[in-house]
Structure 1
Amino acid sequence: MRVVHRGFDTIALSIQANISQELFDLLNTERERAEEERHPVPFSYGGADFDLLPHGGNGYRFILKGGPLDVHWSFKKPNARDPWGVRVSVGSTLLATQGLGYARSYIDKTLTRLGIRFDSHQVSIGRADFCVDVLAPEFELIPENFVIHSHTNRADYLAAQEDVRSNGKSGQFTSVTVGKSPGRQVIIYDKRREVIDKKKPIWWDIWNANLERDGLPPLDHSDASQSRVWRVEMRAWKNLLKDRWQIRTWPQFDAMFGDVVAEALKKIRYCEPDPYDGNRSRWSNHKIWDLVAGSSEDDLLEMRSHIEPTTIKHVHRNEQIRLIMAQMAGLGITLAALEGTQESELGDFIERVGGRLVESIKTDPERLENKLHEAKNRYRFIA
């Protein structure tokens, strides 16, 4: 077993501030356009670039995304009676590659560009997730091996039937969640499976960058027996942070979040069952739990994989190209079937389709030019 990544996975915070009337008017106009076109539209202000979604949510009028770094900005309509008008959610890509310190600086600089002013006491942290990824191909998740309080909620996820094991058991557990929002959650799950199923190839680069730093070879992601990575994730929601730990601001977070993680790993434990001891509280930790706990004792604030933003763009661009090429190939084969093409003629048929596409472009060049412009805007963060 080896730790291949550790760091923050999600940070969500509210800010006691409102956007200006000027910014609201601009956003409102562009959102109307996004609604009409039924897709996000580019939006720039103060030197900051976003995609403005065609909808709001959770009481926020506007939701903007800032490219492949996985940051969401939510803004309410300015209202003096509701001063908490800004919410920021930072996802795993930025936090894993650049670290929490960079993320905090990025938030401050972006909000400054948007003309949003606030002091440190006007920040309220509503959620923080910390994760440890462990390369453990031989590990098998057994939900009953968790030792938890009798009143604590636990949810187990069983793999699909194609993952049925040869020994005849009904399936393989790939995820167990202990606890629930808005308190504390501890989750262990098959991260490799999620990366493949949800098409998140950047994680192979993150894991391999950490392995390379330790002088170790990269993972062969095609071989589960060599690349199975399990994630242990601690989620601290609003009630736990504010009510249990009195954590609201960044200084309080910096001082106490390490203790939040340590307490979670003590109150919820994955253990090695002792068949001769019916008192589960005396069971010893499984070695994966001790490894996770040990790797969480250092300074948590600046953990990162040191992948450059250009690499992130490159990975996202290649994944989009791969998906589009697969779609094009599928459509070409479908067209060939509809036109009665034989298998031996398929290669020549696909080549001729290229010529037909060129002719279709010539018939309405203005429309195709607009489509190209729209596509460039849609992928401008990774092009």
Structure 2
Amino acid sequence: MATGSPLSDGASPSAELAAPGAPPSNTAPANYSENLEGEASARLLRFGIDSLYLSYPGKLASGWAQRLEGLKRAAQSTEEGERSNAQVRIGGHLFEVKDKGKGRFAYVLVDNCFHIQLSSGQSSALPMAYVQLSSELLTAIPVHEAEAQLRYIVNTLGRVESPAQISRADLFADVVSSLAMDSWRQDAWVTRAHKIWMHYEKRRFSGWSIGLGGTLGARLYNKTLELEKSKKDYLKPLWAACGWQEGETVWRLEFEFNRDVLRELGVLALVDLPPSLGGLWRYATETWLRLTAPNPDDSNQTRWPNHPFWDALASVPWSGDSGQPLGRVRKERLPSDKSLFINGLGGLTSFMARHSITDLGEGFGEFLAHAERFHDSYQRQSGKDFKGYVLEKVSAKGRKYNTLENRNKETERDERERTRKDAHAYRKAKDGE
């Protein structure tokens, strides 16, 4: 799926990226509608940074390397109770420690805000930390505040040698439109990418993807359909504040800028990103990709005019007024109410049907009584009773959802203090003190 560089064919980004005016908002809504020609119309709801990937050069402190290695081994245990202890609290975040690294990174820490990959410190080619900031976090607070939280966590883990570098930034715009998004052929896309895909889900058109896997990629997709799977319902009240009504389809245009193209465009450090958002969007929608109205009398695609819908998308006002942030972001990864109260009741309703019970109170009581008898017998060899089994499962879910700190408080406190002293000694040795 990889494509060539978006700056290939001798092209180079000549547009000035830093746009004049007020600093752009991370998630600014638009207070206007764009009436377009003919059948096309678009109403811009929100735009901003969907995901951000940062890397921190440095080295993991030896104390943390030992501690995380132990927690990773705990996560690999065949005993669920031991796996539940594979978690660590840093800066108000209770992270799940994964049982495996990712790629060449040895350790992975996850909650609803950050997905942190850490190197073991033995590879000089790897950064100390490679981190994805979640879209929900970037919706709730400005980028600089999100990075400040992350910087505290990374500095706790080891010695950071330079400011955060951007490895990838995804920019998006959400619109409501009456246009049928599969109403044009592939040749209407004028692009430097080599591959274009159309996507369907259960015979329903779900979107386009262009150049994904390369240094710059794009997607135009049905965001409301995607929400049915991702459960990111925090977006709906933000859309509603901008005029969206339940039942309307929201389409998202999203660009993935990877490190190589960001470097060529002069966006290296995090401080470079906010003033460059407008320029990045213009480069993506004017130079790298356009949706056109094909002219059968002209074989030169570059002369074809923009589709009116594309003109609306390209004119996102990145220097516009500030949006309406959530104000608070959950650190926990919680299951949805639908998952709990529809899927989660499957066992109870099956039990009631099996025993011809229609009274809900009787059903709950009988279900618990039968469950207790079953587990007391089934778990006898492991030495667990029904209560022990349930608490073990709760602890496991608490680790997964970042809600319960399962480790013994005194052990956790002792390990934190030992790690802190090791990290302090490590920094002193590195600084030559």
TM-score range, shorter chain: 0.7 to 0.9
Secondary structure of 2:310's counterpart equals helix
Distance 1:133 1:145, change over 3 A: farther
Distance 1:382 1:6, change over 3 A: farther
Match of 1:153 in 2: 195
User: Letter of the aligned partner of 2:139 in structure 1?
Assistant: A
Distance 1:329 1:22, change over 3 A: same
Of the candidates 45, 54, 58, which is equivalent to residue 4 of structure 1? 45
Is 1:320 matched up with 2:333? Answer: no
Is 1:298 matched up with 2:319? Answer: yes
Distance 1:284 1:350, change over 3 A: farther
CA distance in 1, matches of 2:147, 2:87: 24
After superposition, the C-alpha distances for 1:103-152 in whole angstroms (9 at most, x for unaligned) are 222222222333443333xx332111100010224443334363324763
Distance 1:206 1:145, change over 3 A: farther
User: Letter of the aligned partner of 1:113 in structure 2?
Assistant: T
Unmatched tracts of structure 1, length 5 or more = 164-171
1:193-204 equivalences under 5 Å are: 193-204=225-236
CA distance in 2, matches of 1:364, 1:234: 50
In terms of fraction of residues, the more helix-rich structure is 1
CA distance in 2, matches of 1:102, 1:143: 43
Is 1:350 matched up with 2:363? Answer: yes
User: Letter of the aligned partner of 2:160 in structure 1?
Assistant: R
CA distance in 2, matches of 1:64, 1:313: 13
Distance 1:328 1:349, change over 3 A: farther
User: Letter of the aligned partner of 1:94 in structure 2?
Assistant: L
CA distance in 2, matches of 1:109, 1:288: 43
Is 1:238 matched up with 2:259? Answer: yes
Distance 1:334 1:80, change over 3 A: closer
Secondary structure of 1:309's counterpart equals coil
1:6 is displaced (CA, Å) by 0.5
CA distance in 2, matches of 1:179, 1:159: 20
Match of 1:331 in 2: 347
Match of 2:285 in 1: 265
What is the total number of aligned residue pairs between the two structures? 349
Of the candidates 210, 215, 219, which is equivalent to residue 245 of structure 2? 219
After superposition, the C-alpha distances for 1:187-229 in whole angstroms (9 at most, x for unaligned) are 1111111111333222213323x42xxxx4x521xx2xxx100
Of the candidates 192, 197, 209, which is equivalent to residue 177 of structure 1? 209
Secondary structure of 2:315's counterpart equals helix
Match of 2:157 in 1: 114
1:19-98 equivalences under 5 Å are: 19-36=60-77, 37=79, 41-45=86-90, 48-65=93-110, 67-69=111-113, 71-79=114-122, 81-82=124-125, 84-98=127-141
Unmatched tracts of structure 2, length 5 or more = 1-41, 377-384, 406-433
After superposition, the C-alpha distances for 1:276-310 in whole angstroms (9 at most, x for unaligned) are 655433333233322222115427xx965410225
CA distance in 2, matches of 1:129, 1:117: 25
CA distance in 1, matches of 2:316, 2:118: 37
Secondary structure of 1:130's counterpart equals strand
1:35 is displaced (CA, Å) by 0.9
CA distance in 2, matches of 1:237, 1:53: 26
Match of 2:19 in 1: none
Match of 1:168 in 2: none
User: Letter of the aligned partner of 2:245 in structure 1?
Assistant: L
Distance 1:304 1:90, change over 3 A: farther
CA distance in 1, matches of 2:107, 2:305: 49
Greater relative CO (CA pairs within 8 A, separation 6+)? 2
1:135-154 equivalences under 5 Å are: 135-141=176-182, 142-144=184-186, 146-149=188-191, 152-154=194-196
Of the candidates 295, 303, 308, which is equivalent to residue 327 of structure 2? 308
1:349 is displaced (CA, Å) by 5.7
User: Retained in 1: the 8 A contact 2:223–2:252?
Assistant: yes
Secondary structure of 2:336's counterpart equals helix
Secondary structure of 1:55's counterpart equals coil
Between structure 1 and structure 2, the one with the greater Rg is 2
Secondary structure of 1:180's counterpart equals coil
CA distance in 1, matches of 2:145, 2:297: 50
1:231 is displaced (CA, Å) by 0.5
